[in-house]
A and B are shown apart, each in its own frame.
Chain A
Amino acid sequence: MFSRRALLKGTSTGFGYLAFAALAHQQAARGANGRTDPLAPKKPHFAPKAKRVIFLCMEGAPSHLDTFDYKPRLSADDGKAAPGRFAGRLMGSPFKFAQHGKSGLWISDLFPEVARHADKLCLLNGMHTDLPNHAQAYLQMHCGLFQFPRPSLGAWVLYGLGSPNENLPGFVTIAPPPTNGGSANYAASFLPAVCQGTKINRGTEQVSNLKNARRTAGAQRVQLDFVQDLNRATADALGESPEIEGLISSYELAFRMQGELPKVLDLSKESAATLKLYGADERAGGGTGGGFGPAAGGPTTFGRQCLLARRLVEAGVRFVEVTMGGWDHHSGIKSALTSSCRAIDKPIAGLLDDLQARGLLDDTLVLWGGEFGRTPHAQGDGRDHNNKGFTTWMAGGGAKGGFAHGRTDDHGFEAVDGKVHMHDWHATILHLLGLDHEKLTYRYAGRDMRLTDVKGNVVKAVVA
């Protein structure tokens, strides 16, 4: 791959833009529809199963033991001292598990709606990650490493595949947290800046500077025409100037984005039935009880965000992340986890229904999970951090439905079989998108950098 930033770094502006133009040119050669911008769609390394991603990110680390990892032995040993060096008493899940769908996946009663989709879910019960600290693990989940600034998963996907809609950003992140690494979790880092995530602000569900309270679109068009006249005159006076040409086209994209994006973000024309499907019609509330971390909204908020995610991918955005915070249930897990799950159950089920109804589920990869899991032993009436074993799931996009891969030990502490490290998870996501994680590289600081660093194995077992 052509290293644009590497060239930009050591060169004059003029050449930087020449390099940029060369990159655009090269990509256009690979591109599908004659676009010459740096985000023009690119061919993947091999035939993809998924074309786009919706990542439902559960910030704070939800308990796998009370949701998707059924541990009868833990219930049987409730109150006993936890084995090994870990202090504390084992705590069986206060929630009931049952088998669902034809596949008979075990899911707790916290997710009555999601359980309807059991046959679409591919549970990864053997997840593990390096550290039981939120910030490090959260960064690792997004960027592969936490020790150094690295591009986010979404940025890598955008870099590898480009984006089908030239009027919209290719990577959108809805309500990302300001903590746990903040913007580093959707950064382009050394990748071209266009790969960075566009943030949809928590609360307002809007993008910064997208609207002008004073000037109408018509007035802005008149104004932009004048700006572009001035710019063309400057470009002509300088002779060859790809840098000014780049500026001119980026303004046009900005103008198109401000026309297009608000329409996608506007949920006001959604029918009552759709809102109901996503649980977005319920009264706001919910909250997180004993979880500590940024307060999360109830099903209304998350439902609207899931609906937004569907609208964004449908409009051609390549990668959409939706964050739900408040999963750090150190105490009061029974009530707090109930309200957290209630806030996402209907929205997620609605999203899966809607994607399927629109024929999008087959090639949209839906990811669910947090940065790690929680301990089988109690911490008061909650559970502590656990990076050794936890669960995430995939749905659609070529992931094997109604399937559970890997497992933790009998108490659900440590992954023992079918282990999937975050690096493997990343490798697998890229694989489903038709990208070889070892070939998706970017030359930086003298090395061909990868999302998976020097690690990662594709979990072939979960590919449908």
Chain B
Amino acid sequence: MSRFRGPLIALAALVGTGAPTVGADDKPPSAEGAAFFEKKIRPVLVAECYACHSSEPGKKARGGLVLDTRDGTRKGGDSGAVIVPGDPARSPLVQALKHGDAKTAMPPKKKLDADVVRDFEEWVRIGAPDPRGARAAGKYIDIEEGRKHWAYQPPKKPVAPQVKNAAWPRTEIDRFVLEGLEAKGLTPVADADRRALIRRVTFDLTGLPPTAAEVSAFVEDAAPDAFEKVVDRLLASPRFGEKWARHWLDVARFAESTGKTVNFNYPHAWRYRDYVIAAFNADKPYDQFVKEQLAGDLMPTDDAKRRAERLVATGFLAIGPKTLNERNGLKFELDIVDEQIDVTTHAFLGVTAACARCHDHKFDPIPQADYYALAGIFRSTETCYGTVRYINAQRQSPLVVLPKEASAAVARLTDTERKRIEDQIKSVRDNIAKLKDPTQQFLTSGQLSLLQARLDAYDGDGNPKLVAMGVRDRPARAEAAPPKGGFAGFTYNGSRVIGDSPVFARGEHDQPGTARVPRGTLQVMTAAPLKVPAGTSGRLELAEWIASTRNPLTARVMVNRVWLQLFGRGLVPSADDFGMAGRRPTHPELLDHLALAFVDNGWSTKKLIRSVVTSRVYQLGSVANKAALEIDPENARLWRVSPRRLDAESLRDALLTVSDQLDTTAPTGSVVARAGEGPVARFGGGGEPIGAAANDPRNRHRSVYLPVVRDNLPEALALFDAADPALITSDRPRTTVPAQGLFLMNSAFVLRAADAAADVLLKGTATEGERVRAAFLRFYGRPPTDKEQTGSAAFLKAYRAQLATDRVPAAQHERESWSAFCQALFASAEFQYRK
């Protein structure tokens, strides 16, 4: 190597940094040199050279030359060095790129653009700076070292916290928090008043405001366990599951359509939504909840109802976004698998293993092989998501057939209706026969397929078929008959049997390695490899490993999710990244304490929530304190409860509640279920029926039941930062944008709610003063102050005067002014914020 010294010294001057440009020794190249390599050279090497010149086991290294490491590139191949840094003319690599000699021309079948060849010349001229590792990327991953990261260590029973102010804490949680506060010289603010407290806990646990009667009952209850009684009442309410399911649905990227390029309905996704609501209401042990979503189909039971429930649970793996117009079947399969790995590791483990599809994880000790160990499990699994074959969507799958105990979302198909559809089919067929242009025939055939799918949704007697989205194991052997069941479609041409997956170089479907990776899980989190029984996918074993008490992350991640929803900030602030690039917990001992208690309490989410909300820290006031703001502006230490805007669903539901409009019955199915299979927005179809239904101001159901169509969320939710179901969301963004103000000022939904609330006030009270008081109690859970009474009266007077100026007929003034008053309260910060 020393022969490169000469040119190198000259080069340093060329680049002008003074630093050695190229590491003939192990010094890194200059920033400019590295940047040049990254921008101009590496992409070409990756795209054009690695396939035949790779150091990876099982990959080719033609001519003994590897180009995916710095040392290999330097060393050259069987016939010697391929680059002479500083001297392009003497570098065989550059000459090969120029295709001067057919025998050595590279890449052999295509000459690269002249620009690219020039870049290589320039690169060699400046000394071939190469910031890559000596070995191929990723061989540096040291699993043992990685295990030392706090999150990959099992939770430890923490030492009891030491606090000075022993009188303040009420529970163990308080002692942990107070210890942290005292360490920073902070003191907690005063406790919240009872009205604020019941409003806070009612929103947090049920997503709805307390009624005026509930508020006064709590205010007047002198019993020492008055608050615990409220908490238990709320935990037992069916509204609890509707609120907490929504948090999980964010994480599970729940939606009722494929999204992505062509957006098609998932008419059966609602079953998964209902499963999650029921699971939270029933306080299903979290470990059970995890297992059912990953492998419910593989958990034997004789109970048909339970079986149906477990099949529906696996919808978790099927409801992700899909590119139905993907032309390559294998790529389509690998994309689904990737999405499944992403959601599984994100949701349950708080790590981003999907990064390892193309290369070893950049931050976490997750080698690419671990990714393909997981991929083998999911590739041995068939994803059943339905959809219909259409002109621009060619990737259908069967659905999971449910036992007949399941409920149906739609009414029976009447004979008249069947006849009508059959007639339509006939007339479209006749039409197609008349068309001459094959393109037009093709386009029209789409209509046929939609009509046929409508018929196929029912059995011969007109009963809706009971099907769900979900997964099942592929057959163990190729000769086994494909599993029965499902309808309307065919399986995409993926790997059809259970088996291990190769590593795909750079995640590209046309670059499979020769060796297969045994199915398994993330090495850094486990001591023993996964034992996968022959003839099974390994999904059940994966689920059991995740749901095991020994998994270092599962309980911590869930406990942190619950804390995040209750305090607006997780103990681990990066709720979706517990890995090396995530943020460390602010209260590591408290996190472990909660995680261990969670497991000890049978993975009960309700007990966990109860333990947090009955702590004193949860019941703190929210008034800011200048001194504390100086020390801890983020309120990371929890010296107060940070006020925050209600989430989108709670805000909409609260509007409906205080205007006495909310319909708390749970609708069966969803708008999407009734729309059936097909594209969300139809070509040339005009009108978007689902969008219109989602935004219908007359819809009075709770927000969790509104249709969740990807790229088309209901306006009332989308504007207020509802989770985008294209993404896995742990912590929603919180934005304040003018479009929210316009919605509150002008939307039909808000005006309707304001009118309804005004009508309630006008009916229930006689005087203006009483009305204002009733409104404050109803909207804010507290009576108005004297100043607010006067201010409200002044507003009403001014508004009526304005109505007169605007020549609104006097007969309308009363209702209009009260409607405007109610709308003003909707728009007020106190209504929208939970303090």
Contact = CB atoms under 8 A, between A and B. Distances in A.
Tell which of B636, B645, B745 has the most Cβ of chain A within 10 Å: B745
A225 B787 CA distance: 15
A216 B802 contact: yes
Contacts of A2: none
A16 interface: yes
A223 interface: yes
Interface in A213-262: 214-216, 218-220, 222-227, 229-231, 233-235, 237-241, 243-244, 246-247, 250-251, 253-255, 257-258
Nearest to B574: A10
Interface string B437-457: 111100100000000000000
B642 A14 contact: yes
Contacts of A251: 738, 741, 827
Contact of B745 (A9, A178, A225, A255): A255
B743 interface: yes
Interface stretch (A71-79, A109-117, A131-139): A131-139
B408 interface: no
Interface in A275-327: 292-295
B262 interface: yes
A250 B738 contact: yes
B6 interface: no
A208 interface: yes
B648 to A, nearest CB: 13
A3 interface: no
Interface in B724-770: 724, 726-727, 731, 733-743, 745-747, 751
Contact of A183 (B39, B623, B711, B735): B711
Given A133-B261, A240-B629, A182 B742 contact: no
A12 B802 contact: no
A10 B583 contact: yes
Contacts of A231: 828-829
B741 A12 contact: no
A136 B261 contact: yes
B260 interface: yes
Nearest to B634: A15
B440 A331 contact: yes
B643 interface: yes
B624 interface: yes
Contact of A234 (B440, B739, B829): B829
Contact of A257 (B742, B751, B821): B742
B745 A254 contact: yes
Interface in A94-149: 133-136, 139, 146, 149
A335 interface: no
Nearest to B326: A133
Contact of B735 (A133, A192, A198, A241): A192
B737 A194 contact: yes
A247 B746 contact: no
A156 B683 CA distance: 30
B526 interface: no
A380 B437 contact: yes
Contacts of A178: 680-681, 688, 691, 712
A181 B743 contact: no
A10 B734 CA distance: 11
Contact of A239 (B626, B679, B739, B820): B626
B43 to A, nearest CB: 8
Contact of B712 (A20, A135, A183): A183
A338 interface: no
Contacts of A135: 260-262, 325
Contacts of B833: 234, 243-244
Given A247-B736, A255-B741, A446 B570 contact: no
Contacts of A247: 736, 829, 832
B684 interface: yes
Given A12-B635, A135-B262, A253-B738, A294 B626 contact: no
Interface in A33-71: none
Contacts of A241: 624, 643
B733 A193 contact: yes
Contacts of A182: 263, 681, 711-712
Interface string A160-181: 0000000001000000001111
Contacts of B792: 226
Contact of A12 (B392, B642, B795): B642
A295 B681 CA distance: 13
A238 B711 contact: no
Given A8-B734, A10-B574, A149-B727, A226 B745 contact: no
Contact of A227 (B715, B802, B828): B828
Given A12-B642, A380-B437, A234 B830 contact: yes
A292 B390 CA distance: 14
B736 A238 contact: no
Contact of A250 (B688, B740, B751, B816): B740
Nearest to B695: A208
Interface residues of B, number: 97
A18 B734 CA distance: 12
A382 interface: yes
A89 interface: no
B622 interface: yes
A233 B731 CA distance: 29
A9 B733 contact: yes
Contacts of A14: 624, 633-635, 642-644
B567 interface: yes
Contacts of B635: 12, 14-15
B698 interface: no
B569 interface: yes
A5 B736 contact: no
A246 B742 contact: no
Interface string B790-828: 011001001100110110000000001000110111011
A21 to B, nearest CB: 10
A331 B441 CA distance: 12
A382 B439 CA distance: 10
B581 interface: yes
A139 B634 contact: no
B788 interface: yes
A238 B835 contact: yes
A220 to B, nearest CB: 6
Contacts of B490: none
Contacts of A244: 829, 833
B301 interface: no
Given A210-B742, A222-B795, A292-B684, A238 B731 contact: no
A18 B684 contact: no
Contacts of B805: 218
Given A149-B726, A198-B739, A179 B746 contact: no
Contact of A293 (B574, B683, B721, B823): B683
B711 A184 contact: yes
A11 interface: yes
B327 interface: yes
B573 interface: yes
Nearest to A250: B736
A14 B721 CA distance: 16
A439 interface: no
A135 B832 CA distance: 38
19 contacts: A13-B645, A14-B644, A15-B569, A133-B325, A178-B681, A194-B737, A208-B739, A209-B745, A211-B746, A212-B751, A214-B751, A227-B824, A229-B791, A233-B787, A235-B829, A238-B835, A243-B833, A253-B741, A454-B39
Given A12-B636, A15-B635, A446-B363, 8 more contacts: A15-B569, A182-B263, A210-B742, A212-B751, A234-B828, A250-B738, A258-B745, A454-B43
Interface of A: 5, 8-18, 20, 133-136, 139, 146, 149, 169, 178-184, 192-194, 198, 207-212, 214-216, 218-220, 222-227, 229-231, 233-235, 237-241, 243-244, 246-247, 250-251, 253-255, 257-258, 292-295, 330-332, 379-380, 382, 419, 446, 454-455
Closest 3 CB pairs of A and B: A135-B261, A254-B741, A13-B644
